[in-house]
Amino acid sequence: MILLYDLDVYRLSEELSDKIWSDFDKWSPKVQNTIGYQIIRSSDSISLNLAEGYGRYTPADRRKFYLYSRGSFEETKASLRKLIKREVIKGEDIDKYK
């Protein structure tokens, strides 16, 4: 049986949300209060929905939560693009997020 933490996608989602959580403290209050809290929620939601889907019994239930996770990933990517464009994230940090 495959454990949730054995899945690369789950581990990567945890790493991404932890990096965002850590970098949040470096951002200005304006960034924190606008996009900051939202990107924390969306990035955390990726792994949380993967975990919830993994714990469901029917394929339809699992699929629903995996789709929610994919939506949260797309939202997180859009937020990261905005943070890069607005030069909140720059330099080598951009490569770390990639």
Report pLDDT digits (tens) over 18-74: 999 999 999 999 999 999 999 999 999 999 999 999 999 999 999 999 999 999 999
Would you tell me the crossing angle of helices 8-24 and 59-85 to the nearest 10 degrees?
A: 40
CA-wise closest residue to 77 among 64, 85, 26: 85
User: Span 10-97: which CATH code?
Assistant: 1.20.1440.60
pLDDT at 6 over 90: no
User: Is residue 1 very low, low, confident or very high in pLDDT (cuts 50, 70, 90)?
Assistant: low
User: Is residue 83 very low, low, confident or very high in pLDDT (cuts 50, 70, 90)?
Assistant: very high
- Say if CB 17 and CB 44 are below 8 A apart: yes
Query: Domain coordinates of the chain in residue numbers?
Result: 10-97
